Amino acid sequence: MNLSPLQKARYEYVPKLPGMLRNGISKICVRNGEATTSVADQDKIKALFPNTYGKNEITFEKGENNSPAKKQVVGVILSGGQAPGGHNVVCGLYDALKATDKNNVLLGFKGGPSGLIDDDFVEFDDAFIDQYRNTGGFDIIGSGRTKLETTDQFKVVTEVAKKHGLTAIVIIGGDDSNTNAAVLAEYMAANNTGVQVIGCPKTIDGDLKNEDIEASFGFDTATKTYSELIGNIERDANSAKKYWHFIKVMGRSASHVALECALETQPNICLIGEEVAAKKMSLSQIASQIADSVEKRGNAGNNFGVAIIPEGIVEFVPEFSKLIAEINELLAGENTVKFNALPDWDAKYAFIEKGLTKESMAVFAILPQLIQQQLFLERDPHGNVQVSLIESEKLLSALVKDELEKRKAAGTYKGKFSALHHFFGYEGRCAFPSNFDADYCYSLGYNAFMLIQYGFTGYLSKVSNLSKPAEEWVAGGMPITKMMNIERRNGEDKPVIRKALVELDGKPFKYFAENRDKWAVETAFTYPGAIQYYGPSEVCDLTTRTLALEHS
Ligand code: FBP
């Protein structure tokens, strides 16, 4: 393998564990906390999880390790979108497992949850693991989005587990994957398989968090990577003074990534989907808000700026989600074939006009043709519009342009508007993990093994007090059912982990809201620069602004 100098150096980095896990495996014991209940729908969740519901929260502390001696054979999977630090979760898990007993075994199932079903695995050893320490990506075993949720799948997983003598399975994933971890844990317990299931909180989107889980891993590195790029673009904009940059960032169901990047870079505009939904804003209102900033800046001779747009923005705009719902209906069943067979866009447009309500047609009509066509091009396997593929950064800049033309005609706007577009997503998901993510992930993996060793199942590996130095972090476990409620999914009531949206009364959003009017008009950009791995702690061990504000 060809190694870059940084890769070589990162192999040598020793991740920091929480103080309570630093004294060696033999000196880690369990302190029991309170019994837990789910965040909502307690009776229903309890009935669905009779074997794993209501367990105690636990923390680890310094003391005699009195866990039963038992050979452990653990299977691990990486699930969903990549997030920096995933390799370190596996490394931490491996190190704790081998430190406990050299004969313990760690199997990595390949390609995500499907690896468990297809029994496609690799057995880790030191040489293999050492190539992945402190590196980005999920390429150690790959990832996938297959959902593990049906009894048939669980039966197959049980067979695979039996074949290898698995004592535990660790699922490293987001809210859906950890929901599935809870369901699998319940199945394994109900069927007396002896297989424990432990989850680890992953996602760059930052929407797997709650009073127990302070941050999902990967959010720190991904937002720092995007913020570096946004800062660089801001500096370019401020140098050339001729472009407005519309930058879409990942985060399909929540706007945490956009908000964090805004706190890091102080752009002129940042949209927050949750606010758009709460205020029931229309596309024209959003465009008009951006145009206000462009107009004020342009009239003062500043024909440049930066706007951050969260990936999922259009789903938060009520009129747009209604339009999408109607398009999904319009193209249901045979209609897709009929629609695709129409000879040209004019014929398709007439078909659409006939099928949509007057209100939705009014929204459709103001969209640029490129976006109108995107709404009909890409469908997911269920036949739905894939909202994340809509180029919302182009949509909004086109609407802003139209609005500015009107203002120009009315004589209020005297500037020039030229827009450039960017999408930052995949650029950040496999970056070398920041020291924070390297430490946090290693701790999550190490801690996951301690939960296994002490016999817990249906727990999420929990490391908290993250805004403090790692020495003060608190390691333990939280029953996954504590984070669950019942939600409607695909027409059925399902137990799921509640997704964390941006809280409009939370400190990070409030800080942003207090400052954004100034940022909209002035050039108040800040340039965070690249992630630093070596050097003074104040630049290398920075947490996110979101975490710092939430725990200030
Ligand atoms: P997870 O929720 O699985 O962590 O993935 C999040 C994400 O990175 C989103 O921000 C993005 O919309 C999506 O993955 C892209 O998915 P894919 O990798 O399948 O293109």
Token code pair at residue 110:
């390949």
Q: Which is the closest atom of ligand 1 to the Cα of 202?
A: 4
DSSP-assigned letters across all residues of 227-275: HHHHHHHHHHHHHH---EEEEEES-SS--HHHHHHHHHH--SEE--HHH
CB neighbour class for 432 (10 Å; exposed up to 12, middle 13-18, buried from 19): buried
Residues known to be catalytic:
205
Domain with CATH 3.40.50.450 in the chain: 18-218+435-488
Confidence at residue 378, expressed as pLDDT on a 0 to 100 scale: 66
Confidence at residue 382, expressed as pLDDT on a 0 to 100 scale: 59
The C-alpha atoms of residue 169 and residue 157 are separated, in whole angstroms, by 10
Q: Is the dihedral of CA 146, 147, 152, 156 positive or negative?
A: positive
Gap from CA of 382 to ligand 1 centroid (Å): 18
Confidence at residue 387, expressed as pLDDT on a 0 to 100 scale: 73
Q: Are 21 and 472 in contact (CB under 8 A)?
A: no
Q: What is the mean pLDDT of each run of 10 residues along the chain (552 residues)?
A: 91 97 94 96 97 97 92 97 98 98 98 96 98 97 91 96 98 95 97 98 96 95 98 98 97 95 98 98 97 98 98 93 90 85 94 95 93 81 71 95 97 98 96 98 98 98 97 97 89 89 98 98 98 96 96 91
Taking residue 331's Cβ as centre, other Cβ atoms within 10 Å add up to 23
Question: Position 250: which residue type?
Answer: M
Confidence at residue 336, expressed as pLDDT on a 0 to 100 scale: 84
Domain with CATH 3.40.50.460 in the chain: 223-427+506-550
Q: What letter does residue 16 receive in the DSSP assignment?
A: P
Whether ligand 1 lies within 6 angstroms of the CB of 204 is answered as yes
> Which class is 18-218+435-488 in CATH?
alpha beta
Gap from CA of 14 to ligand 1 centroid (Å): 29
Whether ligand 1 lies within 6 angstroms of the CB of 250 is answered as yes
Confidence at residue 62, expressed as pLDDT on a 0 to 100 scale: 94
Gap from CA of 81 to ligand 1 centroid (Å): 4
Helix axes 151-164, 175-190, angle to 10 degrees: 70
Q: Record the pTM.
A: 0.95
The C-alpha atoms of residue 177 and residue 113 are separated, in whole angstroms, by 9
Report residue 460 CA to chain centroid gap: 16
Please tell me the residue having the least CA distance from ligand 1 atom 1: 81
Which among 200, 213, 250, 389 is the best mutation to test ligand 1's pocket, defined by most ligand atoms within 8 Å of the CB? 250
Please tell me the residue having the least CA distance from ligand 1 atom 4: 203
The C-alpha atoms of residue 285 and residue 276 are separated, in whole angstroms, by 10
Token code pair at residue 164:
């290898």
Whether ligand 1 lies within 6 angstroms of the CB of 203 is answered as yes
Q: Give the residue from 182, 123, 114 showing the smallest Cα distance to 143.
A: 114
| Domain covering 223-427+506-550, topology | Rossmann fold (3.40.50)
Whether ligand 1 lies within 6 angstroms of the CB of 80 is answered as yes
Residue identified by tokens 């259009």 is 314
Which among 89, 252, 313 is the best mutation to test ligand 1's pocket, defined by most ligand atoms within 8 Å of the CB? 252
Residue identified by tokens 């866009």 is 345
